[in-house]
Amino acid sequence: MVVGDVTTGTEVLVIGAGPGGYVAAIRAAQRDLDVTLVERDAYGGVCLNRGCIPSKAYITATGVAHDAATAEEMGVYADPAVDLATMREWKEGVVDRLTGGVEKLCKANGVSLMEGTAKFVDDGTVRVEHDGEGQGAETVSFEHCIVATGSRPIELPGFDFADEPILDSAALLDLDSVPDRLVVVGAGYIGMELSTVFAELGSDVTVVEMLDDVLPGYEDDVARVVRKRAESKGVDFHFGEGATGWRDAADGGIVVTTETEDGEESTYGADRVLVAVGREPITDTLDAEEAGLEPTDDGFFETDERCATDVDGIYAVGDVAGEPMLAHTASAEGVVAAEAIAGEPAAFDTRAIPAAVFTDPEIATVGLTESEAEAEGFDPVVGEMPFNASGRALTVGETEGFVRIVASADGFVLGAQIVGPEASELIAEPTLAIEMGATLEDVAATIHTHPTLSEAVMEAAENALGQAIHTLNR
């Protein structure tokens, strides 16, 4: 039976229940607005279901096994066995708990939930097509709309995700068994995180990257630490090569072909291929032109500081609104959009957006690097604290890397780069320093618990001031 078309109305329609959409919906509801949230797949979006959370669960689990197997120096001898099926079941339990929590939070805050794919009819109406034969559709009119449809993996020519050996990151994390040989195309943050995971699980991992090093966009000395650690775990890197295609091999696996700019070809045997060459916004499912929305050539919706598009009443947050394509950026933008709709004086400030790569060791950055500060006209001062001089880093057996703080000549913190243990947690302090306009003296004068990794942030600030105690001053 076909369900009849019905028409409903809402003050705020949110399209997409990822970290941008569900946060926007909850905040709008908290501001006493009538909110409807439309999701076509799963609450929590890619981040909770197929990206951030599943990958970090695997990173943690494989890290436990690797640490146990390599702790002889501490007097710990172990030969842990990894059951990928059990690990996957645990990972899915974490995901289910979080996505279920998102749904409960939305309902508890009075958000109306609707499942289906939203397509614009005009700048005040969408049609929501429900999945499943005979489920029909319904029309929703709105006063304000927040588009938060997220992004998807970019598909490389010659590597169709529909082909069994070719995987995106989500499919790789859903495998029932560990591939003997894994070729990873792309050495960005997704490629590097998952290369390490599957090397620790026992795969023979080969990474092919068109550029000349891992993690493009990060400073050389930051990327170098991560690359060397990955190499020590058996990851084999081939730079300056672009993947061109693949074919079946006689041994039951496949052969991946690559080519350099000079036309030199190479081949690599594999059982599976992870394509991790970036992500693209999902704006082509919306019939956006019907609402007067025009994506850029890259598929993004341009927005102002209040996350508003050039169509009155329509906002865009998260990956569809452009770089940086980060879950926490989406959430922050979601709050701004909701507050703006509610009439609050909200604006999105890009000065202090941290980013983290959950490699081994972790990388985290915020604000400006030294060269970026110079390009913006500052005469920066820089301080560093190496983790090999940190008592706590020594006791956890993680001494590679450093904390670097960049400040203006008059001492205001402009940025920080951290590579080392718990970098993703440590970056919160310099992020707060930038957000509140703190100085090097403020950070250095803050008493930090001993022994902790966070002392390295204090020491880096002291080093920038030329008065570090536990490392040589620059």
Closest to 296 (Cα-Cα) out of 306, 285, 281, 311: 281
Nearest to 186 by CA among 217, 164, 163: 217
Any catalytic annotation for residue 450? yes
Query: Amino acid letter at 323?
Result: E
Active site residue: 66, 130, 328, 450, which one? 450
The token duo for 403 is 């904390």
Nearest to 338 by CA among 36, 24, 107: 24
Q: Which residues contact 72 (CB under 8 A, 6 or more apart)?
A: none
Cβ atoms within 10 Å, residue 41: 16
Rounded Cα–Cα distance for residues 200 and 301 (Å): 39
End-to-end C-alpha distance for the chain, whole angstroms: 76
Long-range contacts (CB closer than 8 Å, 24 or more residues apart) made by 321-329: 322/281, 322/296, 322/298, 324/353, 324/355, 325/151, 325/279, 326/353, 326/355, 327/18, 327/19, 327/47, 327/51, 327/52, 328/19, 328/353, 328/354, 329/353
Which tokens is 12 given?
């705020």
DSSP for 153-199, please give it: EPPPTT--TTSTTEE-HHHHTT-SS--SEEEEE--SHHHHHHHHHHH
Active site residues: 450
